[in-house]
């Protein structure tokens, strides 16, 4: 049986939501050690202030507390700021999905 849990982080400034991040924990018996970060969004007026970094680092702390060994995140190759951020935090490129369209 597969159970799922999602934690949503919200950054706010004076009661206004300025950023969000989700981390999904899939309690699947085949991969109980894997989680995935998604939906990292920061209001354009608040970018380049470390909000994504802080939210991602907090998500990684939560994953560590839950004994998660692998945290995945998908980023478009053209999103250079995000790629730099995740590399700085310690993520490594695992692969690319070529020709992916939604």
In a domain, 66, yes or no: yes
In a domain, 56, yes or no: yes
pLDDT, tens digit, 9 for 90 and up, residues 54-97: 999 999 999 999 999 999 999 988 899 999 999 999 999 888 88
CATH of the domain at 31: 3.40.630.30
Report the pLDDT value the prediction gives residue 101, as an integer from 0 to 100: 64
pTM for the predicted model, two decimal places: 0.84
Q: What distances in angstroms separate CA 8 from CA 29, 58, 92, one per listed residue?
A: 23, 11, 23
**Under 8 Å CB-to-CB from 53, ≥6 apart: which residues?**
85, 88, 89
Total structural domains within the chain: 1
Q: In which band, very low, low, confident or very high, does the pLDDT at 102 lie, cut at 50, 70 and 90?
A: low
Rounded CA-CA distance 36/14 in Å is 29
Provide the residue range defining the domain that includes 57: 3-89
Q: Does residue 22 have a pLDDT over 80?
A: yes
């Amino acid at each position: 049986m597969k159970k799922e849990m999602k934690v949503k982080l919200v950054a706010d400034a004076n009661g206004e939501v300025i950023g969000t991040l989700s981390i999904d924990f899939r309690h699947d018996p085949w991969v109980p050690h894997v989680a995935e970060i998604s939906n990292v969004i920061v209001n354009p007026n608040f970018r380049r202030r470390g909000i994504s970094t802080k939210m991602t680092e907090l998500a990684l702390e939560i994953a560590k507390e839950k004994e998660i060994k692998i945290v995945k995140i998908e980023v478009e190759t053209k999103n250079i700021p995000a790629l730099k951020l995740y590399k700085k935090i310690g993520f490594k490129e695992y692969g690319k999905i070529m020709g992916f369209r939604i």
